[in-house]
Structure 1
Amino acid sequence: MKANRMEAFSDGVLAIIITIMVLEFKLPEGHDWYALIGLGPKILSYIFSFVYIGIYWNNHHHLLHMVRTVHGRLMWLNLLLLFWLSLIPFTTAWMGESHFAPTPTALYGIILLLSALSYRLLQLAIIKQHSGDSSFVVSMGKDWKVKLSPFLYLIAVLTAYVSPWISCFFFVLVAIIWFVPDKRIEHALRGQ
């Protein structure tokens, strides 16, 4: 299998995830702007998740450009990442429907944490395909975002029972950290 086939499959799954999230919205009962106020928590949770899926899509796209050989382990690690990401619509809907209650917010953070860890496993499997002194391996060794994100997600999970809004702060913080695509992969591609 070529890496572009795995990428196309992943792109399709991510597109379906986004579609499922938007299909969760029900029409408001009223016909004025006031009717949308009740949807506020659902819209906010959707925005969080849409941004996260977009970040994963963008970084996943860049990461797969570094694949030299697609093998079974790599395919399973990619599926593991897609599995955790596919649970985001459920946790998004529950968090929005509950108006960011502690348990749904904590579960949302757990799913983001497990997604981040599976992304790291996928990244490590791809790094193994390169020699230790390649520009890609050297640049990925300095990946502070991948190392910091799980820690911030864990804080978000734990603080959900203190204040879900503190958790949301950490969700936004991680999204801000990852919003700009990783330029190191582009630099490594140019260096090959």
Structure 2
Amino acid sequence: MDKSRIAAFTDAVLAIILTIMILEFKTPDSFSIWAITGQLPYLISYAIGYLFIGTAWYNHHYMFAKTHRITKTVYWVNNFWMFSTSFIPVATAWVGRGFNEQGPEIFYGCVFFLWSFAYLLLSKTLIMANVSDGHEKAADSIRQMRIYRFLSNWKLVSIQVILVVLGLIYVPATQMLIVTLEIVFVGAHFNKDSDRLFES
């Protein structure tokens, strides 16, 4: 299967998801500059979602650049990953309307953990595809990604789940802080060769 077609399709889907998120931002009825403060919860939620998708796209690009062949399994798992990502605008909009409410935060948490599972599954599928083709170096590059090492470490994930559950019980909005910290310190820590993939 043509790798560039899959990458282009994924890029298009992620671009649409980002567009949908900003369309949820509502212009105030008043012309006072202070009227925008009413949209502050959504702006925070939107900024986290944008960082989330931007970081995910970069990691996805790296994995696909390293991969030599796209199998049918990779294709369908990638679709599952995009499916999970497509829920982010809904979760972002709902949290923006109830930033410290349990219902929206629980839904956001479910979307985040579904996305994490889908990303881990995609990573493992790409690793197996590379190993079966004899491209162990490419597989090892994906294994070395910090986000993959975090998501495949059940102890770290268990700690995260416990922290999120406690946060949802007592201060639901703390989940957004946990998600942001994971994006910044785990997802946005890229392999050293990530900005040199296409150097001649």
What TM-score, normalized by structure 2, do the two folds share? 0.84
**Judging changes above 3 Å, is the alpha-carbon distance between structure 1 residues 115 and 66 closer, same or farther for their aligned structure 2 residues?**
same
Q: How many residues align?
A: 189
Tell me the alpha carbon deviations over residues 107-142 of structure 1, each in whole angstroms, 9 at most, x when there is no partner. Answer: 112211111111111111111123478333334444
Aligned pairs (5 A) from 1:104-183: 104-131=104-131, 134-149=136-151, 151=157, 154-155=161-162, 157-158=164-165, 159-177=167-185, 178-183=187-192
> What is the CA distance between 1:98 and its match in structure 2?
1.4
**Judging changes above 3 Å, is the alpha-carbon distance between structure 1 residues 133 and 79 closer, same or farther for their aligned structure 2 residues?**
closer
Task: Give the aligned partner of residue 31 of structure 2.
Answer: 31
- Given that 1:103 and 1:161 are in contact with CA atoms closer than 8 Å, whether structure 2 keeps it comes out as no
> What is the CA distance between 1:26 and its match in structure 2?
1.4
More displaced 10-residue stretch of structure 1: 146-155 or 120-129: 146-155
Q: Percent identity?
A: 29
**Judging changes above 3 Å, is the alpha-carbon distance between structure 1 residues 47 and 111 closer, same or farther for their aligned structure 2 residues?**
same
* Structure 2 unaligned regions, length at least 5: none
Q: Which amino acid aligns with 1:182?
A: N
Residue aligned with 1:100, SS = coil
**Judging changes above 3 Å, is the alpha-carbon distance between structure 1 residues 62 and 138 closer, same or farther for their aligned structure 2 residues?**
closer
- Given that 2:77 and 2:118 are in contact with CA atoms closer than 8 Å, whether structure 1 keeps it comes out as yes
2: CA distance, partners of 1:85 / 1:153: 20
Residue aligned with 1:128, SS = helix
Does residue 84 (structure 1) correspond to residue 84 (structure 2)? The answer is yes
- Given that 1:21 and 1:92 are in contact with CA atoms closer than 8 Å, whether structure 2 keeps it comes out as yes
* Structure 1 unaligned regions, length at least 5: none
**Judging changes above 3 Å, is the alpha-carbon distance between structure 1 residues 168 and 97 closer, same or farther for their aligned structure 2 residues?**
same
More displaced 10-residue stretch of structure 1: 176-185 or 65-74: 176-185
Q: Which amino acid aligns with 1:148?
A: F
> What is the CA distance between 1:101 and its match in structure 2?
1.1
Aligned-residue CA RMSD (Å): 2.3
Tell me the alpha carbon deviations over residues 1-23 of structure 1, each in whole angstroms, 9 at most, x when there is no partner. Answer: 21111000000000000000011
Q: Which amino acid aligns with 2:139?
A: V
Q: Which amino acid aligns with 1:164?
A: P
**Judging changes above 3 Å, is the alpha-carbon distance between structure 1 residues 161 and 43 closer, same or farther for their aligned structure 2 residues?**
same
2: CA distance, partners of 1:153 / 1:30: 41
> What is the CA distance between 1:46 and its match in structure 2?
0.3
Q: Which amino acid aligns with 1:122?
A: L
- Given that 2:145 and 2:190 are in contact with CA atoms closer than 8 Å, whether structure 1 keeps it comes out as no
2: CA distance, partners of 1:54 / 1:76: 22
More displaced 10-residue stretch of structure 1: 90-99 or 137-146: 137-146
